[in-house]
Chains A and B, each alone.
Chain A
Amino acid sequence: MNEEYLWNGGGEPDETTVRLEKLLAPLGYTESAGARAGAGRARRFALAWGLVAAGTALAGIVAVPWLRDP
C-alpha cells in the first residue's frame, strides 16, 4: 500500500486505492444531489399533507349525511 498516495494523492498511485476511489466516488456528495434530496423531502412533505387533506375531505363527505339525518 502506498501511504503517500492514500494521504495526499502523491507518489505512485496505489492500485486498490484507485479502484476504490473510482468505485465509491459516485456515492459522494454533489450540490445537485443535495438539491435533489431537498426537493425529494419537500415532495414527501407535500404528499403527506395532500393525503391528510384528502382524508379530511373524504371524512367530511361521509359524515355530512349522517349529521343531517340523525
Chain B
Amino acid sequence: MPRPLVSVVTPKRVIIIRRIVPIAFLAAGTLLCATEPSAEEKAFHEQVAPLLVKNCLECHNANVHKGGLSLETRGDAVKGGEDGTALVPGKAEDSPLYTLLVPEHAGAKPEMPKKKDPLGQEEVAKVKQWIDAGAHWPSDFVLKEKARGDKSFWSFTKLTDPAVPEAADAPPEWRREPIDRFIWAGLAAKGLHPNPPADPRSLIRRITYDLTGLPPTPKEVEAYVQAAGHDRQSATEMLVDRLLASPQYGERWGRHWLDVARFGESKGFERNSIVGNLWPYRDYVIDSFNQDKPFNRFIEEQIAGDVIGKDDPKVEVGTAFLVAGPYDDVLNQDPVAKATIKANTADEIITATGSAFLGITINCARCHDHKFDPIPTEDYYRLKAAFDGVEHGDRRLSTPEERRRAHEAIEPLKAEWTALNDQRTALQDAIGKRVAAMSDVPTSRPVLSAHLTEETFAPVPAKLIRFTMLSSSQNPASALDARIDEFEVWTGGAEPRNVALASAGAKATGANERIAKDFASAYDVSLVNDGKFSAAWNVGLPAVLTITLPQVETIEKVTFSYDRVQQSNVPISGHGPMVTEYEIHVSEDGKTWKKVADSFDRAPFNKALAEERRRRATTTPEEAKTLADLNRQITAVERKIDAVPQAALVYAGEFKQPTAHTTVLRGGDPMKPAGEIKPASLNLLDKVTSPYELSLDAPESERRLDLARWIASDENPLTARVAANRIWQYHFGTGIVDSPSDFGYLGGRPSNQPLLDWLARRLQQGGWKWKALHREIILSQTYQQASTWRKEGEAADKDARLLWRFPPARLDAEELRDTMLKVAGKLDPTMGGPGYRLYEYKQDNVSTYVPLDKVGPETYRRAIYHQGARAAVVDLLSDFDQPDNSISAPKRVNTITPLQALTMLNHSFVLDLAHDLATRVEREAGPDREKQILQAYQFAFQRDPTAQELVEAARFIEARGLFPFCRALLNADELIYLD
C-alpha cells in the first residue's frame, strides 16, 4: 500500500502553541486549547480533517488555488472561491463542500473530488454530520499536505565521517585502500566476493577510455602490458598520471558536465535558431577540468563568474551555464503569454541549477510545496529571486587592456569617418536644397495600387516581357525585397487571355531575395504566374522579372499586384514593401527590346519617391560621381572599424537589476502574484547550513554570489554528495545513488552511503579537486577487477551495483565516433573553437536541421566539438543515445536498435573510415596478408588475432578484399564493448 499523503496532527493532550507557523512542509495543523477534546473536536481532527487533506487539498490549497478556492483554513472555506462559499456552518445542504461530494444520481460520479475516487457513503455522511453540527474547525488550524520525506531524509543531513570498515576477511590487497574496504564490506554482507584483477590489456583500454574517451594506441598497450608484468601498481600509477595530464581528459569529463548542464547550441522552441557563440563555454568546461579547477570554485563561476571574476573573460564565461538551456524568443504580443514565457525562462534556470549542483528537483515546488521532499514553494521562489535579473543574451567578455586597445584603434578611424561623412552631408545638403526648391516632376496618371496595377499599351507582338523594378515603398533607390503575388500579361480582343500563366506554358524568371532551403518554392519567382494570389515572390537583385511566353503573342496589357486578396492600395506593415517605380519592355527575340510602359508619369507613391525623382532630375553627373566616391570611402572605413580586434561577444547571459520584487506565484501562475520573497538560502537545508537572507532590493550580483557560495560551501551536504556520486557514476556506469540529479525521496537510495559520504569528504578534503579522486578510484582493486560475469553474482546483485564485477559498458555516442576516427587514423586532435556541424542548418523564420548524407574531414574532430542543436537528429550520435539537450541528462540511456546497425553499415561516414582504415593497414603492414590482419586487429582492438581468427579473416579478405574486412571490424562488438 502506498503511504497516505496526509498527515494531520490528531490532538491528544494539548500543548500550548500560540500561533500557527505556516511552514508548509511541517504540515498539519496544531491547535490551541487546553482541555480534553470535545466530540466535535474529535470528529474534525480524527475524521474530517484527514478526509479534507486526502481528497481536497491537492487542488484547493493556497498555492494551487483551483477555482479560486483554498480549504486550508475554516476562513478560506467559508470565504469560498469563484463559485461562492464552500462552507455554510450548520447547513450541509447549502455547503458545496458537502453537496459536491454527493452524486447526482446513484451510480454517477460526484463532481468532487475531481481527480480522485469518490468518497465512500460513510465518509460523506461524516462530512454532512460535521457541517450540520456547526463545522468545528479552530480558526488557526491550517491544513497542509505533507511531503513524504522530511529534513531527516538521508541526503539532507550533514555529511557523516564514516569509519572505514575493517574488512578483516579480505585479502591484503583489498585492505589497503579505504574504497576497497567499503566495497568488500558491502559485498560480504551479501555473501559476495569480487572478481580477480582484469588482464592488463583490458585494464589499459578501460582506463584510457574512462579518462580520455579514446582507445589506447597499440604501442601504448604493448608498453603498459610489459611494464605491468614487472610492477603492475607503478605501471598503472604512471598510466593514470599520464592520462590525467593529457588534454583529452578535459574533453572526456567536460562532455559529462555538458550533459548535466543541458548544453545545447540552439535556442529550441519555435524558432530554434542556432547559437554560434556558446562554444566558449564548452571550451571553458574542458579547460576547467584539465586544470583540475576546484569544483566549488567551478560552481561559483557558473553562477556568478561575472562577479568573482570581473574583467577576466576566462572566469566570466562560466555564467553561460545559466543560459545554456532552451529559450523561447518568439515575439509574443499576448501579455499573459509574455509573462508565462518569462516565468518559464526563469524556471528553466532554477531547474538546471537545482539539479546540476544540488541534485534536487526544486522545479516540483513551483506550483505548490514539493510533494515528496521538504521543499516549500517559498524555496523555489528564493532561487527565483536570485535569478530574476538573468536574461538570455550576449555579453562582451573583455579585459580592461583589450577594451583600451580597441578604443585606441577605433578612435582615429571614427575621426576619419566623421570627416568623410561631413563632406558627404555637405554635398547631399547642397543637392537637397535644390531638391527642396524644385517643384515635383509633373505626372499625368494616378498612383499605382498594391491591390492591382494596370498598364495598357498599343497591341505589340512579344515573346519576352521584362519588368524592371527601380523603387519600393520602403526604399526609393531599390526594389530589393519587394513582393509580387501575381503578374499577368494579356492579349486583346473580346476574350483576353492571360498568357503569362505557367499553366499556359509561360515561364517566369528573376532573382529571389529569400530562399527557403527546405521548400525551395516558398518565396520563388514562380509564384507570380501560378494563377494564385496571396503567396508572393520576394524580389532579389537584380530586380528584374522576365516572362517568357511559349510563342509570340500580340499583347496589349500587363497587370500585377502586391496583394490581390487584400483590398488595400498600400502594403501591409510587416509584410514587405511593394514595387513603386518600374519600366516594362517587350521583345520578340530577346535581342531588340521595346519599352511599352513605365511608371514615371504616375503620381509618386510616396514623398520619398517624389523626392527621389526630383533628385535624379537635378543631380549632375559630377555630383553623382563624387557621392559614389565618398560612399565607397566611407564603407571602407566602416570595414576597418569592424575589423578592429574586439573581445568576443559570448552567449553568457546579461544581468539586470530586477525592477520588481520577487513574489510567490500562486499555482505557478504568473498572473497571480502572492507574497514577496527575499533572495535567501533554502529552508530545505536550514538545519545543516548557515543561512543567509538578503533584502528584497538586494543588488542582482549579490543575489547570485551569495547563492553560489552557499551551494559551494563545505557545509552543504548535497553539493559534495552529488558531485562525488557523479564522479563514481562516470567511472562505474552507475552511481552509488542511481538517480544522479535527484537525491530526494523519489530518487534512488545509496547502494553504499558510508562510501558516498567518505568520497564526498575526501573530495572536500582534497580541495574539491576531481583528479585526486579519479586516481584513488582507478587505483583501487574494485576498479581494476575483471568484468567477468558470474551466475551467483547476478543472482544476488543483478546490476552489479555492489561491484562484484566491473560492469562492462558499451561505448557512448562520442566515444564510438572518436574511436572510429582514431582507429582509421583520421582523428583531428584540434581542440577548441567553433564547432562543426553534421547537419545542414536551414533558417527561414524558423530553423530546420537536416542530417548530412556525406561529411568530410572538417568533421573529423572529436564529437564534443560538434555544434549540437536542439531537436536535431544526426546520424550516429543520435542513434547511439546522445541526449537531446533540451533538459539535463545526468545519465544516458543505452539502447540497441536496428537503426544503429543501418547507420553503422550504410552511412558514408563509416564507409569512408573503413576505406581509410584499409589504406592505413596497407600502408603500415605492406602487402602481406597476415601482417595486414595483425595490424588491423591491433588498430581496432589492440590485440593480436587468435590463430582461428587469422584463418577466418584471411579467407574473408581473399574472397572480398580488405575494405569489407575493415567495414566489419568497425561494426564489431569488440570495438564497441569494453570489458
Q: Are A and B a genuine interacting pair, yes or no?
A: no
- B→A interface (CB under 8 Å): none
